[in-house]
Chains A and B, each alone.
Chain A
Amino acid sequence: KAGVTQTPRYLIKTRGQQVTLSCSPISGHRSVSWYQQTPGQGLQFLFEYFSETQRNKGNFPGRFSGRQFSNSRSEMNVSTLELGDSALYLCASREQGDSSTIYFGEGSWLTVV
């Protein structure tokens, strides 16, 4: 079974631009969540989607948004990029339910200059 696939893996953007990151979950997994990892803040929850519905959202500004498609693939968007948005963005998938294990993709490394 293929793992969680994230694209692009690396990208550099300029302040004020926007970025879209993509995630394909493990086949059969319907839940997709996104996390931001920075050296200072660690791993922080962004949002979680199940069957195209956002079920929870972390404490991030409205510049961070996401969506999920009918095939469970998900995208997240960050608008008006700031230097502090430089981070590793991790997508994770799980089959269903609240306790089932989440599996991470390799992540998208975003650098904002």
Chain B
Amino acid sequence: QKEVEQNSGPLSVPEGAIASLNCTYSDRGSQSFFWYRQYSGKSPELIMFIYSNGDKEDGRFTAQLNKASQYVSLLIRDSQPSDSATYLCAVGSNDYKLSFGAGTTVTVRA
């Protein structure tokens, strides 16, 4: 079983819609959770981080964490063509590394 699993893509959404990305992780001791966005040919860019159960909002992005279910999600509201990218879920424990999911590719249709 992979440490971090993301819903398989690609995910295509119309402009203005909500894109929903899901991620599950296997290590119950995980303490920190991140979403990175990666454009083709570029390095990952941090979008959100969340440490506590519940929701965290930043602009059009909302991260949700449920440690009991070992589940973290990212919602992108009012999706824009510039949101078209691969979104990586990353999970950190107390071992100085992040474990990444395979990524979900999102395409926003104009």
Contacts and interface: CB of A to CB of B under 8 A. Distances in A.
Contact of B46 (A90, A103, A106): A103
Interface stretch (A11-19, A43-51, A67-75): A43-51
A35 B45 CA distance: 14
A56 B97 CA distance: 7
A33 B36 CA distance: 16
B25 to A, nearest CB: 14
Contacts of A33: 96-98
A88 B38 CA distance: 13
Given A98-B32, A99-B51, A48 B96 contact: yes
B56 to A, nearest CB: 13
Interface in A62-102: 88, 90, 98-99, 101-102
Contact of A105 (B43, B46, B93): B43
A24 interface: no
Q: How large is the interface on B (under 10, 10 to 19, 20 to 34, 35 or more residues)?
A: 20 to 34
Contact of B95 (A44, A56, A90, A106): A56
A106 B93 contact: no
A81 B99 CA distance: 25
A107 B44 CA distance: 9
Contact of B103 (A42, A45, A48, A99): A42
A43 B43 contact: no
A106 B43 CA distance: 5
Interface of B: 31-32, 34, 36, 42-46, 49, 51, 88, 90, 92-103
Given A48-B96, A90-B44, A107-B43, 15 more contacts: A42-B100, A44-B100, A45-B98, A50-B96, A56-B95, A98-B92, A98-B93, A98-B94, A99-B31, A101-B49, A102-B34, A102-B46, A102-B98, A104-B44, A106-B42
13 contacts: A42-B100, A42-B102, A43-B90, A45-B98, A50-B96, A56-B97, A90-B44, A98-B94, A98-B96, A99-B51, A99-B92, A102-B98, A107-B43
